[in-house]
Amino acid sequence: MDDKSPQPPSFWQMLHSVLAAAFGVQSGKNRARDFSQGKPSQFIALGLLFTLCFVLTILAVVKIVLYLAGT
């Protein structure tokens, strides 16, 4: 018997989905895969991690620009 149970998305597929969703360009096919095969807790954790990294990056860029501007 060859059981064709759906495989959960890999880390890279989940990361791609989170980044695409953040920019609002998630495809319907990937969204359907995420909702049918993915675990919400994994996407929530990855989304929070992405948001934290994004905010820290913006903060670092602002601090560098202000430092270089002499403010």
The predicted model scores a pTM of 0.78
pLDDT at 71: 77
| Ranges of residues in the chain whose predicted pLDDT is under 70 | 1-4
* Domain boundaries along the sequence of the chain: 11-69
DSSP 3-67: --PPPPPPHHHHHHHHHHHHHT---HHHHHHHHHHS-HHHHHHHHHHHHHHHHHHHHHHHHHHHH
pLDDT tens, position by position, 17-26: 999 999 999 9
pLDDT at 8: 87
